[in-house]
Amino acid sequence: MLRAALVIGFLSLLQPALAGTRIAGVRVDEIFNRLKATQDLEVRTAAARVAVNKDPRLAAYRESLAELEALQKKIIEVSRAGGPDALPLQRLQREFAVKRGEAFTLQREFDEFRARRTQEINEEYVTAAEKLLAEIHRKAVEVAEKEGVDLVLDTGGNTNTSMSFVLYAKAPVDLTEQVMAGFEMAPETPPADPSAPATAGAEPTEP
C-alpha cells in the first residue's frame, strides 16, 4: 500500500511538469512471457531441473537403500531363527553397518550436488531473463523515439497490493504491439475445448 501511495504521490507532483508530455505504456510482463526466447528458456530450465534427479548419485543411493532393506530382512530372519551359532547374525549386522555408512555418504554427496546444481540453474535463469528484459527495454526506447513519445511506463507491472502502477490514463498510448513486432514471439496456444472428446489411448503423463 505504501509503495502504491508513493508512486501516486510522485506522479501527482510531476503533473505540472508533465503538461504537454506525451506518455505511453508498454506491458513488459506480457512481452516477456510471450517471447519465444522466454518459452525456450523455460523449457531448458525445466529440463535441467529434471536432469538433477537423473544423476547417477541418486540412483546409487536408491540402490544402497534397497540393499539395506534386504539386509535388514535377513537380519530379522536369522535373529528369529536363533541357533547356537551367532556368527552369521554378527556378520550381517557388520555388513549392515558398513552399507548404512555408504548410504549416508551417497545421500550427502547427492544433496550437495543437488543444492549446487539448483543454485547454478537459478542463476543461469536469472542471467538469461535479465538479458531478455534488457532487450525489451532497448526495443521500447527505440519505438518510443520513433513514435515521438517523451515518457514510457510499464503498464503491465503491479504494486505489492496487486494493483497496477497506472490507476488511470486518459486515452493511453500503448506501444506493446510495436515493441513485440521487434521480437520472435511464440505462437499463442488456443484454450482447450472442455467439450472436446479425449484422444483415444491417451494416458496421463507424469508430472
Three-class SS of 139-168:
HHHHHHHHHCCCEEEECCCECCCCCECCCC
Q: What pLDDT, on the 0 to 100 scale, is given for residue 188?
A: 73
Q: Which of 101-105, 133-137, 194-198 has the lowest mean pLDDT?
A: 194-198
CA-to-CA distance for 69 and 66, rounded, in angstroms?
Answer: 5
CB 178 within 8 Å of CB 27: no
Per-residue pLDDT of 11-44, as tens digits, reads: 554 554 555 678 898 999 999 999 999 999 999 9
Mean pLDDT of the 63-75 span: 93
Measured distance CA(173)–CA(25) in Å, rounded: 6
Q: Which of 134, 143, 151, 150 is nearest to 176 (CA)?
A: 143
Q: How far apart are CA 38 and CA 126, in angstroms?
A: 11
Strand boundaries in the chain, DSSP class E? 23-26, 151-154, 173-174
What confidence category does residue 203 fall into, taking pLDDT thresholds of 50, 70 and 90? very low
> What is the per-residue pLDDT for 159?
67
- The per-residue pLDDT of the chain, averaged, comes to 81
- Tell me the angle at which helices 87-147 and 36-52 cross, rounded to the nearest 10 degrees: 170
Q: Can you tell me the distance from the alpha carbon of 20 to that of 16, in angstroms, rounded to the nearest whole number?
A: 9
Q: Cβ-count burial of 136 within 10 angstroms (0-12 exposed, 13-18 middle, 19+ buried)? A: buried
Mean pLDDT along residues 166-175: 75
What pLDDT is attached to residue 80?
Answer: 83
- 3-state SS of 38-60 is HHHHHHHHHHHHHHHCCCHHHHH
